Amino acid sequence: MQDLLDASVWLPLSAPDHVHHQRARRYWDEESASELVLCRVTALALLRHLTHTTILGNAALDGGAAWKALETWLAVPQVSFIPEPPGVDELLAEWAGKLNLRGGNWTDAYLAAFAAASGCRLVAFDDDFNRFPGLEFLHLTG
């Protein structure tokens, strides 16, 4: 099984001073699947967070350096980028009604649907992913 990492995991893996860096590294070293994946949404979220001064302060990167950081992750043998699998829209449609998705829930629902449709385990620090039925989910805690 592949692990689809949420940006809440990619960011602390990328930023040694991040409050969750040690826990993210422990996941990487001890709990991760043999293949870790990014999708377009998680890659864009990582780029957004790496360049955001409110999140990283003086450690925030410029756009070119953030892109290079993403390329560096994709050069790691166990990391890959996967395209959207079939079935994402069907899961989103199902959950939209059952879970009454609103506001910021849509991106989480998309990632959950992406993971479920592609057969990946979703890994995140955010426990809101527990709400998606049938999702293989690993909630990282401090």
Which CATH number belongs to the domain containing residue 28 in this structure? 3.40.50.1010
Specify whether the backbone of 48 is left (phi greater than 0), alpha (psi in -120 to 50) or beta.
alpha
Quote the pTM value. Answer: 0.95
**Which amino acid belongs to residue 103?**
G
Rounded to an integer, what is the distance from CA 34 to the centroid of its chain?
Answer: 16
The parent domain of residue 62 ranges over 2-139
pLDDT in tens, 63-101: 999 999 999 999 999 999 999 999 999 999 999 999 999
Per-residue pLDDT reduced to its tens digit, 42-66: 999 999 999 999 999 999 999 999 9
Count of structural domains, the chain: 1
Banded model confidence at residue 142, pLDDT cuts 50, 70, 90:
confident
Of 48, 39, 6, 2, which Cα lies nearest the Cα of 140? 6
Distance (Å) of CA 60 to CA 4, 33, 95, 120: 24, 29, 35, 30
The pLDDT of residue 137 is above 80: yes
